[in-house]
Amino acid sequence: MQEIQTAVIGTGHLGRFHALKFHQLKNCKLVAVCDTDPGKAQEVAAETSCRPVTDYHELLGQVEAVSIAVPTDLHFDVVRDFLRNRSHVLVEKPITATLEQADELISLAKECNRVLQVGHLERFNPAIVELERELKEALFIESHRLAPYRIRGTEVNVILDLMIHDIDIILDIVNSDVNKIDARGIPVLSNDIDIANARITFENGCVANVTASRVSMATDRKMRIFQHDAYLSVDFQNSELAVYRKGQHELYPGVPNIVVQKTSCAEYDALLVEIESFLHCIRYGTQPKVSGQDGKRALETAISISKQLA
């Protein structure tokens, strides 16, 4: 099977891991990594036995597929240039800075018959894969994504930085139009919103209460979904799904006991699976698990929340 020639644009924290995964896979060849910082490019290139470059334009038309992990405000220009030069693209979330930019990239990918996949990594978390098997109809969702403060990612607010992960998952599992959003949030350590809560009401009646913080003392990434016959608890950090159901016995008179079933997949490499899925789409012409349209849908809700907070 012919190797797919690949490159990674942006060798910061996420880009480096993308490069390592491409280097690890046998069905592709990492040709180059690119970063405007020559030191970063050379360091990651040495780790992955490929060529370092500092200007991505050198790679246009030279590779079949790219991962793009540059700051969000650069996504549109870099993705557009690679699509125009017939490269398939995996771009980190959020897809772009604006909805108009997202629309243009989606249309361009379709016109050029190229794969455009958005890096909403949690979709490949094994706990979410297990959730899809158990989920029937979400009626109420409670989500918390909390993290200590880091400089990385603060070019955008906490909604576009962290909450958008959960927004994407919730939109996917609810599969209904948003009816109403009520949001609150404040800046704490940066000049933009650092902690926020949004209550999203859907047309089908489901309600999602979503909290994201990048100023917490500890990391916590959990989502709880309530449906008629069960309460499903997703622990993203430990890749664990717990399913709580009514049992056949009584906890109290007239109150059923609760039966718990847990599934843990802590050794699962979600980024590796995401990149394998991207390469599979290229090789076999299938649709990505997180398409450009999915990325735009999550961005649209995130922007609506951000505007309300502004």
pLDDT level of residue 76 (50, 70, 90 thresholds) = very high
Percent with pLDDT over 70 in the chain? 99
Q: Where do the domains of the chain lie?
A: 4-114, 123-268+300-309
Q: Is the pLDDT of residue 292 over 80?
A: yes
* 11-17, long-range: CB < 8 A, 24+ apart: 11/35, 11/37, 11/40, 11/41, 11/43, 11/44, 11/69, 12/40, 12/69, 12/152, 13/152, 14/69, 14/92, 14/119, 15/44, 15/67, 15/69, 15/70, 16/44, 16/47, 17/271
Q: What is the average pLDDT across 285-302?
A: 98
Predicted confidence at residue 2, as pLDDT, reads 86
Q: Is the pLDDT of residue 95 over 90?
A: yes
Predicted confidence at residue 276, as pLDDT, reads 97
pLDDT level of residue 243 (50, 70, 90 thresholds) = very high
Q: Is the pLDDT of residue 1 over 70?
A: no
Predicted confidence at residue 152, as pLDDT, reads 77
pLDDT tens digit sequence for 177-194: 999 999 999 999 999 999
pLDDT tens digit sequence for 136-154: 999 999 999 999 998 877 7
What is the CATH topology of the domain spanning 4-114? Rossmann fold (3.40.50)
pTM attached to this predicted model: 0.93
pLDDT level of residue 247 (50, 70, 90 thresholds) = confident
Distance, in Å, from the CA atom of 269 to the CA atom of 272, rounded to the nearest integer, reads 5
pLDDT level of residue 251 (50, 70, 90 thresholds) = confident
> What's phi and psi for 96, nearest 5 deg?
-150, 180
Please state, rounded to an integer, the average pLDDT across all residues of the chain.
Answer: 95
Q: What is the average pLDDT across 46-70?
A: 98
What is the CATH topology of the domain spanning 123-268+300-309? Dihydrodipicolinate Reductase; domain 2 (3.30.360)
Predicted confidence at residue 41, as pLDDT, reads 98
Token pair in block for residue 67: 């991962």
Q: What is the average pLDDT across 6-22?
A: 97
